[in-house]
Structure 1
Amino acid sequence: MHVSVLASGSTGNCVYVETPEKKMIVDAGLSGKKITSLLAEIDRTPDELDAIFVTHEHTDHIKGVGILSRKYGIDIYANELTWQAMAKNIGNIALDHRHIFEMGKTMTLGDIDVESFGVSHDAAAPQFYQFHRNNKAFAVLTDTGYCSDRIKGTIKNADAYVIESNHDVEMLRMGGYPWHLKQRILGDKGHLSNEDGALVMTELIGDKTKKLFLGHLSRENNIKELAHMTMNHTLQVHDIDTVNTVKLYDTDPDYATDLFAI
Protein backbone atom coordinates (compact mmCIF):
# COMPACT_ATOMS: atom_id res chain seq x y z
CA MET A 1 0.00 0.00 0.00
CA HIS A 2 1.27 3.46 -0.97
CA VAL A 3 -0.18 6.82 0.09
CA SER A 4 0.24 10.52 -0.63
CA VAL A 5 -1.56 13.43 0.98
CA LEU A 6 -2.27 15.33 -2.23
CA ALA A 7 -3.72 18.33 -0.38
CA SER A 8 -4.80 19.02 3.16
CA GLY A 9 -6.10 22.19 4.76
CA SER A 10 -9.13 24.36 5.26
CA THR A 11 -9.19 25.17 1.52
CA GLY A 12 -9.24 21.62 0.17
CA ASN A 13 -8.51 18.01 1.04
CA CYS A 14 -7.56 14.92 -0.95
CA VAL A 15 -5.62 11.80 0.12
CA TYR A 16 -4.37 9.22 -2.39
CA VAL A 17 -4.13 5.48 -1.64
CA GLU A 18 -2.98 2.76 -4.02
CA THR A 19 -2.39 -0.96 -4.06
CA PRO A 20 -1.30 -3.21 -6.92
CA GLU A 21 -4.97 -3.56 -7.93
CA LYS A 22 -6.67 -0.30 -6.89
CA LYS A 23 -6.07 3.45 -6.95
CA MET A 24 -8.38 5.65 -4.90
CA ILE A 25 -8.73 8.98 -3.12
CA VAL A 26 -10.36 10.07 0.10
CA ASP A 27 -12.29 13.26 -0.73
CA ALA A 28 -11.83 15.56 -3.70
CA GLY A 29 -12.08 19.00 -2.14
CA LEU A 30 -10.35 20.94 -4.91
CA SER A 31 -11.11 21.57 -8.56
CA GLY A 32 -10.68 18.71 -11.01
CA LYS A 33 -7.85 20.64 -12.65
CA LYS A 34 -6.00 21.09 -9.36
CA ILE A 35 -6.39 17.44 -8.36
CA THR A 36 -5.09 16.44 -11.78
CA SER A 37 -1.99 18.59 -11.25
CA LEU A 38 -1.49 17.19 -7.73
CA LEU A 39 -1.71 13.63 -9.04
CA ALA A 40 0.89 14.55 -11.67
CA GLU A 41 3.28 15.46 -8.85
CA ILE A 42 3.32 11.76 -7.90
CA ASP A 43 3.23 10.57 -11.54
CA ARG A 44 -0.40 9.52 -11.49
CA THR A 45 -3.43 10.55 -13.58
CA PRO A 46 -7.13 10.81 -12.68
CA ASP A 47 -8.16 8.29 -15.34
CA GLU A 48 -6.35 5.66 -13.22
CA LEU A 49 -8.62 6.24 -10.21
CA ASP A 50 -11.07 3.50 -9.26
CA ALA A 51 -12.88 5.16 -6.36
CA ILE A 52 -13.52 8.34 -4.38
CA PHE A 53 -14.42 7.86 -0.71
CA VAL A 54 -16.30 10.91 0.58
CA THR A 55 -16.10 11.81 4.26
CA HIS A 56 -18.78 14.54 4.38
CA GLU A 57 -20.46 17.20 2.31
CA HIS A 58 -18.41 20.32 3.13
CA THR A 59 -17.00 22.04 0.04
CA ASP A 60 -13.37 21.53 1.01
CA HIS A 61 -14.02 17.80 0.71
CA ILE A 62 -16.34 17.49 -2.32
CA LYS A 63 -15.55 20.34 -4.72
CA GLY A 64 -14.13 18.07 -7.43
CA VAL A 65 -16.11 14.89 -6.75
CA GLY A 66 -18.76 15.35 -9.43
CA ILE A 67 -16.54 16.52 -12.26
CA LEU A 68 -13.97 13.77 -11.69
CA SER A 69 -16.61 11.06 -11.56
CA ARG A 70 -18.32 12.26 -14.73
CA LYS A 71 -15.15 12.87 -16.72
CA TYR A 72 -13.31 9.69 -15.78
CA GLY A 73 -16.09 7.27 -14.77
CA ILE A 74 -14.96 7.02 -11.15
CA ASP A 75 -17.06 5.26 -8.51
CA ILE A 76 -18.12 7.36 -5.52
CA TYR A 77 -18.64 5.91 -2.04
CA ALA A 78 -20.46 7.74 0.77
CA ASN A 79 -23.14 7.00 3.32
CA GLU A 80 -26.77 7.73 2.47
CA LEU A 81 -27.11 10.94 4.49
CA THR A 82 -23.93 12.34 2.95
CA TRP A 83 -25.24 11.51 -0.53
CA GLN A 84 -28.39 13.46 0.26
CA ALA A 85 -26.48 16.41 1.70
CA MET A 86 -24.00 16.75 -1.17
CA ALA A 87 -26.35 15.96 -4.08
CA LYS A 88 -27.09 19.58 -5.03
CA ASN A 89 -23.38 20.48 -5.04
CA ILE A 90 -21.85 17.63 -7.05
CA GLY A 91 -24.34 17.43 -9.91
CA ASN A 92 -25.69 14.36 -11.66
CA ILE A 93 -23.83 11.13 -11.01
CA ALA A 94 -24.42 8.01 -13.08
CA LEU A 95 -26.31 5.38 -11.11
CA ASP A 96 -23.60 2.78 -11.65
CA HIS A 97 -21.07 5.13 -10.03
CA ARG A 98 -23.18 5.81 -6.91
CA HIS A 99 -22.41 3.52 -3.97
CA ILE A 100 -23.71 3.56 -0.41
CA PHE A 101 -21.00 2.93 2.19
CA GLU A 102 -22.67 2.54 5.55
CA MET A 103 -21.02 4.00 8.61
CA GLY A 104 -19.20 1.43 10.72
CA LYS A 105 -18.95 -1.09 7.89
CA THR A 106 -15.98 -2.59 6.05
CA MET A 107 -15.92 -2.98 2.28
CA THR A 108 -13.51 -4.98 0.13
CA LEU A 109 -12.33 -3.50 -3.17
CA GLY A 110 -10.00 -5.84 -4.98
CA ASP A 111 -6.96 -6.37 -2.77
CA ILE A 112 -7.82 -3.82 -0.04
CA ASP A 113 -10.35 -3.59 2.80
CA VAL A 114 -11.80 -0.15 3.57
CA GLU A 115 -13.31 0.47 7.00
CA SER A 116 -15.56 3.45 7.74
CA PHE A 117 -16.08 5.05 11.15
CA GLY A 118 -18.18 7.98 12.33
CA VAL A 119 -16.73 11.22 13.72
CA SER A 120 -18.12 14.28 15.53
CA HIS A 121 -18.43 17.16 13.07
CA ASP A 122 -21.14 19.59 11.99
CA ALA A 123 -22.14 17.66 8.90
CA ALA A 124 -25.01 15.29 8.06
CA ALA A 125 -23.22 12.03 8.86
CA PRO A 126 -19.43 12.50 8.75
CA GLN A 127 -17.31 9.38 8.50
CA PHE A 128 -13.65 8.72 7.84
CA TYR A 129 -11.78 5.69 6.60
CA GLN A 130 -9.10 3.19 7.51
CA PHE A 131 -7.43 1.10 4.81
CA HIS A 132 -6.23 -2.46 5.51
CA ARG A 133 -3.95 -4.63 3.39
CA ASN A 134 -1.49 -7.41 4.27
CA ASN A 135 -1.74 -6.68 8.01
CA LYS A 136 -0.99 -2.98 7.41
CA ALA A 137 -3.39 -0.16 8.25
CA PHE A 138 -3.60 3.49 7.18
CA ALA A 139 -6.13 5.72 8.95
CA VAL A 140 -7.41 9.19 8.00
CA LEU A 141 -8.90 11.28 10.83
CA THR A 142 -9.63 14.98 10.41
CA ASP A 143 -12.75 17.15 10.81
CA THR A 144 -13.76 16.01 14.26
CA GLY A 145 -14.30 18.00 17.43
CA TYR A 146 -12.99 15.18 19.59
CA CYS A 147 -11.81 11.60 19.31
CA SER A 148 -14.11 9.21 21.13
CA ASP A 149 -13.05 5.96 22.78
CA ARG A 150 -14.91 4.17 19.98
CA ILE A 151 -12.76 5.86 17.32
CA LYS A 152 -9.60 5.19 19.30
CA GLY A 153 -10.50 1.53 19.55
CA THR A 154 -11.12 1.36 15.80
CA ILE A 155 -7.89 2.97 14.56
CA LYS A 156 -5.41 2.30 17.37
CA ASN A 157 -1.94 1.11 16.33
CA ALA A 158 -2.26 1.77 12.60
CA ASP A 159 0.95 1.85 10.59
CA ALA A 160 0.33 5.42 9.44
CA TYR A 161 -2.12 8.24 10.12
CA VAL A 162 -3.35 11.50 8.74
CA ILE A 163 -4.35 13.32 11.93
CA GLU A 164 -5.97 16.73 12.26
CA SER A 165 -3.89 19.64 13.54
CA ASN A 166 -6.37 22.32 12.55
CA HIS A 167 -5.63 25.31 14.73
CA ASP A 168 -3.61 26.81 17.51
CA VAL A 169 -6.15 27.69 20.20
CA GLU A 170 -4.63 31.07 21.06
CA MET A 171 -4.30 32.08 17.40
CA LEU A 172 -7.94 31.20 16.88
CA ARG A 173 -9.13 33.08 19.96
CA MET A 174 -7.14 36.20 19.11
CA GLY A 175 -7.86 36.08 15.38
CA GLY A 176 -10.44 37.84 13.25
CA TYR A 177 -13.06 35.10 12.97
CA PRO A 178 -16.53 36.03 14.31
CA TRP A 179 -17.28 34.60 17.74
CA HIS A 180 -19.88 32.11 16.49
CA LEU A 181 -17.34 30.61 14.08
CA LYS A 182 -14.70 30.40 16.81
CA GLN A 183 -17.23 28.58 19.01
CA ARG A 184 -18.01 26.17 16.18
CA ILE A 185 -14.36 25.31 15.57
CA LEU A 186 -13.62 24.88 19.28
CA GLY A 187 -16.77 22.83 19.95
CA ASP A 188 -17.39 19.10 20.05
CA LYS A 189 -18.48 19.17 16.40
CA GLY A 190 -15.62 21.34 15.19
CA HIS A 191 -11.93 20.56 14.66
CA LEU A 192 -9.03 19.16 16.65
CA SER A 193 -6.48 21.76 17.74
CA ASN A 194 -2.74 21.14 17.56
CA GLU A 195 -2.77 20.16 21.23
CA ASP A 196 -5.84 17.93 20.95
CA GLY A 197 -4.55 16.13 17.86
CA ALA A 198 -1.21 15.53 19.57
CA LEU A 199 -2.84 14.14 22.70
CA VAL A 200 -5.03 11.85 20.60
CA MET A 201 -1.93 10.47 18.92
CA THR A 202 -0.32 9.64 22.27
CA GLU A 203 -3.19 7.16 22.73
CA LEU A 204 -3.28 5.85 19.16
CA ILE A 205 0.39 5.23 18.43
CA GLY A 206 1.42 1.61 18.92
CA ASP A 207 4.39 -0.55 18.09
CA LYS A 208 3.35 -0.72 14.40
CA THR A 209 3.04 3.04 13.93
CA LYS A 210 5.77 4.56 11.75
CA LYS A 211 4.35 7.58 9.90
CA LEU A 212 2.22 10.51 11.00
CA PHE A 213 0.94 13.21 8.64
CA LEU A 214 -0.32 16.47 10.19
CA GLY A 215 -3.46 17.45 8.31
CA HIS A 216 -6.20 20.02 7.78
CA LEU A 217 -4.22 23.02 9.04
CA SER A 218 -6.11 26.29 9.01
CA ARG A 219 -4.55 29.04 6.87
CA GLU A 220 -5.75 31.72 9.28
CA ASN A 221 -5.35 30.04 12.66
CA ASN A 222 -2.23 27.91 12.43
CA ILE A 223 1.37 27.79 11.27
CA LYS A 224 2.91 24.61 9.89
CA GLU A 225 5.97 24.92 12.12
CA LEU A 226 3.83 25.43 15.21
CA ALA A 227 1.68 22.39 14.50
CA HIS A 228 4.78 20.27 13.91
CA MET A 229 6.49 21.55 17.07
CA THR A 230 3.40 20.89 19.20
CA MET A 231 3.04 17.33 17.91
CA ASN A 232 6.75 16.60 18.27
CA HIS A 233 6.96 17.98 21.82
CA THR A 234 3.81 16.22 23.03
CA LEU A 235 4.89 12.85 21.69
CA GLN A 236 8.34 13.18 23.18
CA VAL A 237 6.89 14.11 26.59
CA HIS A 238 4.96 10.82 26.37
CA ASP A 239 8.17 8.91 25.57
CA ILE A 240 7.37 8.43 21.89
CA ASP A 241 10.53 8.57 19.79
CA THR A 242 9.99 10.99 16.89
CA VAL A 243 13.56 10.67 15.66
CA ASN A 244 13.97 6.96 15.02
CA THR A 245 10.53 5.36 15.44
CA VAL A 246 7.60 7.59 14.45
CA LYS A 247 8.31 10.05 11.62
CA LEU A 248 6.31 13.28 11.40
CA TYR A 249 5.37 14.74 8.01
CA ASP A 250 3.83 18.10 7.20
CA THR A 251 1.09 18.41 4.59
CA ASP A 252 0.14 21.36 2.42
CA PRO A 253 -3.02 22.67 0.73
CA ASP A 254 -1.16 23.25 -2.54
CA TYR A 255 1.48 20.53 -2.86
CA ALA A 256 1.40 16.74 -2.63
CA THR A 257 3.60 14.79 -0.28
CA ASP A 258 5.86 12.11 -1.67
CA LEU A 259 4.29 8.72 -2.36
CA PHE A 260 5.11 6.69 0.75
CA ALA A 261 5.06 2.92 1.21
CA ILE A 262 3.03 1.80 4.22
Structure 2
Amino acid sequence: MGLWFTVLASGSTGNGTIINNGDKMVLVDAGLSAKKMEELMKERGVFGHQLDALFVTHEHSDHIKGLGAFARKHELPIYANEATWGAMERHVGKIDADKRIVIETGDTLNFGSLQVQSFPISHDAAEPVGYTFVDQGVKLSLATDLGYMSDKVKQAIIDSDVLVLESNHDTEMLRMGRYPWNTKRRILSDVGHLSNVAAGEALCELLTDRTKRVYLAHLSLDHNLMDLAMLTVNNILEDHGIFFKKEDFPLRHTYHDKPTPWDEVKKK
Protein backbone atom coordinates (compact mmCIF):
# COMPACT_ATOMS: atom_id res chain seq x y z
CA MET A 1 0.00 0.00 0.00
CA GLY A 2 2.67 2.50 0.97
CA LEU A 3 2.73 5.51 3.27
CA TRP A 4 1.07 8.90 3.47
CA PHE A 5 2.56 11.66 5.54
CA THR A 6 2.38 15.37 6.24
CA VAL A 7 4.87 17.50 8.17
CA LEU A 8 2.48 19.60 10.26
CA ALA A 9 5.17 22.04 11.39
CA SER A 10 8.95 22.05 11.52
CA GLY A 11 11.33 24.38 13.31
CA SER A 12 12.22 25.86 16.68
CA THR A 13 8.64 27.11 17.13
CA GLY A 14 7.26 23.58 17.09
CA ASN A 15 7.38 20.21 15.35
CA GLY A 16 4.96 17.48 14.40
CA THR A 17 4.61 14.90 11.61
CA ILE A 18 1.78 12.48 10.81
CA ILE A 19 2.42 9.10 9.18
CA ASN A 20 -0.40 6.88 7.93
CA ASN A 21 -0.21 3.49 6.24
CA GLY A 22 -3.95 2.85 6.09
CA ASP A 23 -3.75 0.53 9.10
CA LYS A 24 -2.17 2.83 11.68
CA MET A 25 -1.85 6.61 11.87
CA VAL A 26 0.72 8.08 14.24
CA LEU A 27 2.00 11.49 15.26
CA VAL A 28 5.71 12.10 15.82
CA ASP A 29 6.20 14.90 18.36
CA ALA A 30 3.66 17.48 19.52
CA GLY A 31 5.73 20.62 19.82
CA LEU A 32 2.98 23.21 19.61
CA SER A 33 0.04 23.73 21.93
CA ALA A 34 -2.61 21.03 21.76
CA LYS A 35 -5.01 23.57 20.25
CA LYS A 36 -2.54 24.55 17.53
CA MET A 37 -1.73 20.91 16.77
CA GLU A 38 -5.42 20.25 16.23
CA GLU A 39 -5.74 23.30 13.98
CA LEU A 40 -2.86 22.12 11.79
CA MET A 41 -4.25 18.59 11.68
CA LYS A 42 -7.67 19.90 10.68
CA GLU A 43 -6.06 21.59 7.68
CA ARG A 44 -5.16 18.10 6.50
CA GLY A 45 -8.49 16.54 7.42
CA VAL A 46 -7.21 14.67 10.47
CA PHE A 47 -8.70 14.63 13.97
CA GLY A 48 -7.15 13.46 17.21
CA HIS A 49 -9.45 10.48 17.66
CA GLN A 50 -8.14 9.03 14.38
CA LEU A 51 -4.59 8.72 15.69
CA ASP A 52 -3.29 5.49 17.18
CA ALA A 53 -0.15 6.68 18.99
CA LEU A 54 2.35 9.44 19.64
CA PHE A 55 6.10 8.94 19.22
CA VAL A 56 8.64 11.32 20.80
CA THR A 57 12.10 12.15 19.47
CA HIS A 58 13.36 14.07 22.54
CA GLU A 59 12.25 16.30 25.39
CA HIS A 60 12.94 19.82 24.10
CA SER A 61 9.87 22.04 24.26
CA ASP A 62 9.56 22.48 20.50
CA HIS A 63 8.89 18.73 20.35
CA ILE A 64 6.70 18.16 23.43
CA LYS A 65 4.95 21.46 24.23
CA GLY A 66 1.46 20.10 23.58
CA LEU A 67 2.26 16.43 24.17
CA GLY A 68 0.63 15.83 27.55
CA ALA A 69 -2.56 17.78 26.93
CA PHE A 70 -3.01 16.38 23.43
CA ALA A 71 -2.38 12.77 24.46
CA ARG A 72 -4.70 12.99 27.48
CA LYS A 73 -7.51 14.56 25.45
CA HIS A 74 -7.39 11.86 22.81
CA GLU A 75 -6.35 8.99 25.12
CA LEU A 76 -3.24 8.23 23.06
CA PRO A 77 -0.36 6.00 24.10
CA ILE A 78 3.01 7.79 24.07
CA TYR A 79 6.16 5.98 22.92
CA ALA A 80 9.61 7.19 24.01
CA ASN A 81 12.81 5.74 25.42
CA GLU A 82 13.32 5.60 29.19
CA ALA A 83 15.78 8.49 29.32
CA THR A 84 13.42 10.74 27.39
CA TRP A 85 10.55 9.78 29.70
CA GLY A 86 12.68 10.74 32.67
CA ALA A 87 13.61 14.09 31.13
CA MET A 88 10.12 15.08 30.01
CA GLU A 89 7.84 13.73 32.75
CA ARG A 90 7.68 16.98 34.72
CA HIS A 91 6.84 18.90 31.55
CA VAL A 92 4.02 16.74 30.19
CA GLY A 93 2.01 16.18 33.37
CA LYS A 94 0.34 12.97 34.49
CA ILE A 95 0.31 10.17 31.94
CA ASP A 96 -1.54 6.98 32.86
CA ALA A 97 0.73 3.97 33.21
CA ASP A 98 -0.94 2.10 30.36
CA LYS A 99 -0.30 5.06 28.05
CA ARG A 100 3.38 5.37 28.99
CA ILE A 101 5.18 3.03 26.58
CA VAL A 102 8.95 2.56 26.54
CA ILE A 103 10.61 1.87 23.19
CA GLU A 104 14.34 1.60 23.68
CA THR A 105 16.64 3.23 21.16
CA GLY A 106 17.29 0.90 18.27
CA ASP A 107 14.22 -1.22 18.93
CA THR A 108 11.90 -2.15 16.07
CA LEU A 109 8.19 -2.08 16.84
CA ASN A 110 5.60 -3.78 14.67
CA PHE A 111 2.73 -1.38 15.17
CA GLY A 112 -0.01 -3.15 13.32
CA SER A 113 1.35 -3.45 9.79
CA LEU A 114 3.48 -0.32 10.29
CA GLN A 115 7.07 -1.03 11.31
CA VAL A 116 8.69 1.65 13.47
CA GLN A 117 12.38 1.78 14.38
CA SER A 118 14.22 4.42 16.38
CA PHE A 119 17.89 5.27 15.92
CA PRO A 120 20.27 7.41 18.02
CA ILE A 121 21.14 10.95 16.98
CA SER A 122 23.61 13.49 18.36
CA HIS A 123 21.82 16.36 20.13
CA ASP A 124 21.94 18.00 23.56
CA ALA A 125 19.04 16.03 24.98
CA ALA A 126 18.79 13.02 27.30
CA GLU A 127 18.66 10.32 24.60
CA PRO A 128 17.42 11.84 21.33
CA VAL A 129 16.32 9.68 18.42
CA GLY A 130 15.10 9.76 14.87
CA TYR A 131 12.60 7.30 13.41
CA THR A 132 12.12 5.20 10.32
CA PHE A 133 8.69 3.97 9.26
CA VAL A 134 8.30 1.03 6.88
CA ASP A 135 5.23 -0.40 5.19
CA GLN A 136 5.52 -3.19 2.60
CA GLY A 137 9.02 -2.12 1.68
CA VAL A 138 8.33 1.63 1.55
CA LYS A 139 10.60 3.54 3.94
CA LEU A 140 10.22 7.04 5.40
CA SER A 141 12.94 8.45 7.67
CA LEU A 142 12.82 11.44 10.02
CA ALA A 143 16.21 12.86 11.03
CA THR A 144 16.27 16.32 12.56
CA ASP A 145 17.95 17.94 15.60
CA LEU A 146 21.29 16.29 14.98
CA GLY A 147 24.65 17.96 15.37
CA TYR A 148 26.33 15.77 12.77
CA MET A 149 25.55 12.88 10.45
CA SER A 150 27.00 9.85 12.23
CA ASP A 151 27.58 6.49 10.60
CA LYS A 152 24.75 5.05 12.70
CA VAL A 153 22.32 7.63 11.35
CA LYS A 154 23.49 7.00 7.79
CA GLN A 155 23.02 3.26 8.23
CA ALA A 156 19.52 3.80 9.62
CA ILE A 157 18.21 6.16 6.95
CA ILE A 158 20.00 5.14 3.75
CA ASP A 159 17.76 3.58 1.09
CA SER A 160 14.78 5.62 2.26
CA ASP A 161 12.07 6.38 -0.27
CA VAL A 162 11.57 9.71 1.48
CA LEU A 163 13.84 11.59 3.87
CA VAL A 164 12.80 14.41 6.20
CA LEU A 165 16.23 15.84 6.93
CA GLU A 166 17.39 18.78 9.00
CA SER A 167 18.86 21.77 7.15
CA ASN A 168 18.80 24.15 10.09
CA HIS A 169 21.06 27.08 9.33
CA ASP A 170 23.39 28.87 7.00
CA THR A 171 26.67 28.97 8.89
CA GLU A 172 27.59 32.52 7.90
CA MET A 173 24.12 33.86 8.75
CA LEU A 174 24.40 32.18 12.13
CA ARG A 175 27.89 33.54 12.82
CA MET A 176 26.75 37.08 11.93
CA GLY A 177 23.40 36.75 13.70
CA ARG A 178 22.09 38.22 16.95
CA TYR A 179 22.42 35.10 19.12
CA PRO A 180 24.98 35.18 21.95
CA TRP A 181 28.16 33.26 21.16
CA ASN A 182 27.42 30.42 23.60
CA THR A 183 24.15 29.75 21.73
CA LYS A 184 25.89 29.89 18.37
CA ARG A 185 28.57 27.52 19.64
CA ARG A 186 25.89 25.06 20.78
CA ILE A 187 24.13 25.14 17.40
CA LEU A 188 27.41 24.64 15.54
CA SER A 189 28.56 21.82 17.82
CA ASP A 190 28.24 18.06 17.38
CA VAL A 191 25.18 18.14 19.65
CA GLY A 192 23.54 21.08 17.89
CA HIS A 193 21.90 21.31 14.49
CA LEU A 194 22.78 20.31 10.94
CA SER A 195 23.72 23.18 8.61
CA ASN A 196 22.68 23.52 4.97
CA VAL A 197 26.17 22.46 3.89
CA ALA A 198 26.18 19.45 6.23
CA ALA A 199 22.75 18.41 4.93
CA GLY A 200 23.94 18.64 1.34
CA GLU A 201 27.10 16.68 2.05
CA ALA A 202 25.12 13.99 3.86
CA LEU A 203 22.70 13.66 0.94
CA CYS A 204 25.61 12.96 -1.41
CA GLU A 205 26.00 9.69 0.51
CA LEU A 206 22.33 9.03 1.21
CA LEU A 207 20.63 9.52 -2.15
CA THR A 208 20.07 6.26 -4.01
CA ASP A 209 17.94 5.15 -6.95
CA ARG A 210 15.27 4.43 -4.39
CA THR A 211 15.06 8.00 -3.05
CA LYS A 212 12.01 9.84 -4.35
CA ARG A 213 11.94 13.02 -2.27
CA VAL A 214 13.83 14.88 0.45
CA TYR A 215 12.10 17.39 2.71
CA LEU A 216 14.43 19.99 4.20
CA ALA A 217 13.31 20.49 7.79
CA HIS A 218 13.82 22.42 11.03
CA LEU A 219 14.98 25.58 9.26
CA SER A 220 15.96 28.46 11.53
CA LEU A 221 13.73 31.54 11.19
CA ASP A 222 16.69 33.77 12.10
CA HIS A 223 19.58 32.13 10.31
CA ASN A 224 18.24 30.48 7.18
CA LEU A 225 15.95 30.89 4.19
CA MET A 226 14.25 28.04 2.38
CA ASP A 227 15.49 29.23 -1.02
CA LEU A 228 19.03 29.47 0.35
CA ALA A 229 18.84 26.00 1.88
CA MET A 230 17.53 24.52 -1.37
CA LEU A 231 20.19 26.30 -3.43
CA THR A 232 23.03 25.31 -1.11
CA VAL A 233 22.02 21.65 -1.01
CA ASN A 234 21.44 21.48 -4.75
CA ASN A 235 24.80 23.12 -5.51
CA ILE A 236 26.59 20.59 -3.32
CA LEU A 237 24.81 17.72 -5.05
CA GLU A 238 25.78 19.10 -8.45
CA ASP A 239 29.38 19.57 -7.31
CA HIS A 240 29.37 15.83 -6.59
CA GLY A 241 27.95 15.02 -10.01
CA ILE A 242 24.36 14.51 -8.86
CA PHE A 243 21.99 16.31 -11.23
CA PHE A 244 18.21 16.36 -11.45
CA LYS A 245 15.87 17.61 -14.13
CA LYS A 246 13.66 20.39 -12.81
CA GLU A 247 10.56 18.20 -12.96
CA ASP A 248 12.39 15.44 -11.06
CA PHE A 249 13.93 17.72 -8.43
CA PRO A 250 13.61 15.77 -5.18
CA LEU A 251 13.90 18.62 -2.64
CA ARG A 252 10.73 19.80 -0.92
CA HIS A 253 9.81 22.52 1.57
CA THR A 254 8.60 22.26 5.14
CA TYR A 255 7.12 25.17 7.10
CA HIS A 256 7.09 26.41 10.66
CA ASP A 257 3.46 27.56 10.52
CA LYS A 258 1.58 25.32 8.08
CA PRO A 259 1.51 21.67 7.09
CA THR A 260 2.99 20.23 3.93
CA PRO A 261 0.52 18.68 1.47
CA TRP A 262 -0.23 15.01 1.99
CA ASP A 263 2.46 13.00 0.23
CA GLU A 264 1.76 9.43 -0.84
CA VAL A 265 4.83 7.25 -1.13
CA LYS A 266 4.58 3.95 -2.98
CA LYS A 267 7.06 1.34 -4.08
CA LYS A 268 8.55 1.93 -7.50
Match of 1:250 in 2: 253
* Mapped contact 2:19–2:25 kept (Cα < 8 A): yes
* Identical residues among aligned pairs (%): 46
Q: Quote the Cα distance in structure 2 between the aligned partners of 1:220 and 1:47.
A: 35
Deviation at 1:177, TM superposition (A): 0.4
CA positional deviation for 1:13:
0.6
1:194 to 188, 193, 196: 196
Task: Tell me which of 91, 94, 104 is aligned to 2:93.
Answer: 91
Q: CA deviation at 1:246?
A: 4.8
Give distance in 1, aligned partners of 2:81 and 2:110.
16
Across the aligned residues of Structure 1 and Structure 2, the Cα RMSD in angstroms comes to 1.0
The match for 1:110 is 112
Higher mean alpha-carbon deviation, 15-24 vs 230-239, is at 230-239
> Partner of 2:11 in structure 1?
9
Residue matched to 2:45 = 43
Which digits, 9 at most, give the CA deviation of each residue in 1:83-110, with x for residues without a partner?
0000000000111111001001110101
- Contact 2:120/2:152 (8 A) holds in 1: no
| Secondary structure, counterpart of 1:25 in structure 2 | strand
Match of 1:141 in 2: 143
Unaligned stretches of 5+ residues in structure 1: none
Following superposition of structure 1 onto structure 2, how do residues 80-229 of structure 1 map, counting pairs within 5 Å? Answer: 80-229=82-231
Listed one character per residue, the Cα deviations across residues 122-176 of structure 1 (whole Å, up to 9, x for unaligned) are: 0000011000111110000000100111211121110001000100000000011
Per the normalisation by structure 1, the TM-score is 0.98
* Counterpart position of 1:259: 262
Separation in 2 of the partners of 1:121 and 1:88?
20
- Are 2:33 and 1:27 aligned? no
Q: Quote the Cα distance in structure 2 between the aligned partners of 1:86 and 1:127.
A: 14
What is the CA–CA distance in structure 1 between the aligned matches of 2:147 and 2:253, rounded to whole Å?
Answer: 21
Normalization by structure 2: what TM-score?
Answer: 0.96
Which residue in the other structure is 1:70 paired with?
72
State how far apart, in whole Å, the 2-side matches of 1:196 and 1:163 are.
Answer: 11
CA offsets per residue over residues 42-76 of structure 1, 9 Å max, x none? 11111111111100000000011101110000110
Q: CA deviation at 1:234?
A: 1.7
SS in 2 for 1:17: strand
SS state of the match for residue 240, structure 1?
coil
User: Runs in 1 of length 4+ with deviation above 4 angstroms?
Assistant: none
Does the Cα contact within 8 Å between 1:209 and 1:246 map onto a contact in 2?
A: no
CA deviations on 1:213-262 (whole Å, 9 max, x unpaired) are: 01000111111111111122222222333335452111111000000011
